[in-house]
Amino acid sequence: MEAPGHPGASIGKERTRMSFLKKRPFIFFIAPALIIYTIFVIYPMVAILPYSFMKWGGISAAQFVGFQNFRDIFEEVNVVEQMKNAFSNTFFLLFLTYLFLNPIVIAIAYFLYRKVYLSEIYKTIIFMPQFVNNVAVAFIATLFFAPSVGLYGNFMTAIGLSEKAIAGIWANPVYGVPLLLLVGGWRGIGYETLLYIANFSMVPIELDEAARIDGANEWQRFFRIYFPLISPTFTNIVVLMYIWTLTTFDIAFLLGGMSGGVNGSMDTIQLFFYRNVFGRSSNVGNFVGMGATYSVIILVTLISGSMLLQWILRKREVSY
């Protein structure tokens, strides 16, 4: 055995390092993005934690106050009511996303994978909204549901419900969350569809052919072969939808304003955070502290929910 200081020892370590990198070439591809992500995402999330225990306006000296910031949030009745409404709307939006949007995306992806008539054109139409700015998306939605000139108003008038068209869908708080689902889903449905199509394409065609020979119909092949084998992607998209829903801000702000629409019907967690951190004069002397406190609450909700979903769904995954 060579001594630690022997030149051969350093050469051996270098060979081991090079062997490790040769067996894992993907490190060279993910390292740049991982470094940037760590600097601009991971580090700020960790660095903000100490400020949630401080009273600091960003200019004067910070004062350690312990859990006082958290107590201030949960002891103020108006803030608590807003928070309950924002969390309620956000999780209702998540429920509708899982109940309607995700199944629709899976169905669209499967039909496009099966190359239905004009499937390539459908792919372009579905993915096109990804390139539209959210401001433009909100403007299009506003025009679409406009009482006088929008297609919604014209349709309601045509079927004899002109009073509904005049009132407008924006005035009814019942439609607040469904509108967020409709507009946000139209904007982002293309990305999830492409992920599912790519995963359907990875299912061994031999399994499908064997099922055909055994007499399995289309529904049976989908539920017995394709859907179980795309379970890892299904888990990832369910978690991503959870994260995206809990971070919904721009569409809610553009459609409902800072107040979150009529009676706060479009208020979301992120919009609640923005309004109470940047829109309250009482936070001037504790701007950073309260902002960090709200951030910690949202961060804990995101991480705990994501981990719970992964823990539940990973156990049901099927590999091939």
Residue 226 sits in a domain whose CATH number is: 1.10.3720.10
Domain that holds residue 19: 1-33
Is pLDDT of 34 > 60? Answer: yes
Whether residue 194 lies inside any domain: the answer is: yes
Nearest CA to 188 out of 244, 119, 236 is that of 244
Task: Report yes or no on 191 lying in a domain.
Answer: yes
Q: Regarding predicted confidence, which is higher, 96 or 63?
A: 96
Do residues 216 and 289 both lie within one domain?
yes
Question: Under 8 Å CB-to-CB from 214, ≥6 apart: which residues?
Answer: none
Do residue 205 and residue 300 come from a single domain? Answer: yes
- Are 24 and 71 members of one domain? no
- Judgement on whether residues 101 and 179 belong to the same structural domain of the protein: yes
Burial class (CB in 10 A: 0-12, 13-18, 19+), 96: middle
274 falls within a domain: yes
pLDDT of residue 1: 47
Q: What is the rounded average pLDDT of the residues 300-313?
A: 92
pLDDT at 16: 60
pLDDT tens across 109-151, in order?
Answer: 999 998 878 878 888 888 888 888 888 888 888 888 877 777 7
Q: What is d(CA 306, CA 250) in angstroms, rounded to the nearest whole number?
A: 22
pLDDT beyond 60 at 196: yes
Unique residue bearing structure tokens 């449905």: 189
CB of 287 closer than 8 Å to CB of 57? yes
**pLDDT given at position 11:** 53
In this structure, are 202 and 263 located in the same domain? yes
The position carrying tokens 């981990």 is 307
Region 180-202 average pLDDT: 91
Does 7 score more than 80 pLDDT?
A: no
Same-domain pairing of 130 and 247: yes
Give residue 46's pLDDT band: very low, low, confident or very high (50, 70, 90).
confident
Asked if 1 and 130 sit in the same domain, the reply is no
Does residue 139 lie in a domain region? no
What pTM value is reported for the model?
0.85
Structure confidence by residue, pLDDT tens digits, 202-248: 989 898 889 898 888 889 999 999 999 999 999 999 999 999 999 99
Q: Is residue 103 part of a domain?
A: yes
State pLDDT tens for residues 260-286.
888 899 999 999 998 888 777 666 678
- 257 near 138, Cβ under 8 Å? no
Task: Tell me how many domains the chain contains.
Answer: 2
Note the residue count of the chain: 320
Question: For the ranges 32-41, 75-84, 141-150, 158-167, which has the lowest average pLDDT?
Answer: 158-167
Q: What is the pLDDT of residue 120?
A: 82
Q: Which pLDDT score, from 0 to 100, does residue 284 have?
A: 65
Q: Tell me, yes or no, whether 102 lies in a domain.
A: yes
Residues 125 and 4 in one domain: no
Q: Are residues 86 and 183 in the same domain?
A: yes
Share of the chain above pLDDT 70, in %: 88
Strand partners, 54: 64
Same domain, 24 and 87: no
Range from 3-7, 24-28, 78-82, 159-163 that averages highest in pLDDT = 78-82
In this structure, the answer to whether residues 14 and 62 fall within a common structural domain is no
21, 86: one domain: no
What SS3 state is found at 292?
helix
Residue 74 has pLDDT above 70, yes or no: yes
- Inside any domain, residue 50: no
| Per-residue model confidence as pLDDT tens digits over 281-300 | 666 678 888 888 998 999 99
Q: Per the domain annotation, does 149 fall within a domain?
A: no
φ, ψ dihedrals at 54, nearest 5°: -125, 155
Over the chain, what is the mean pLDDT? 84
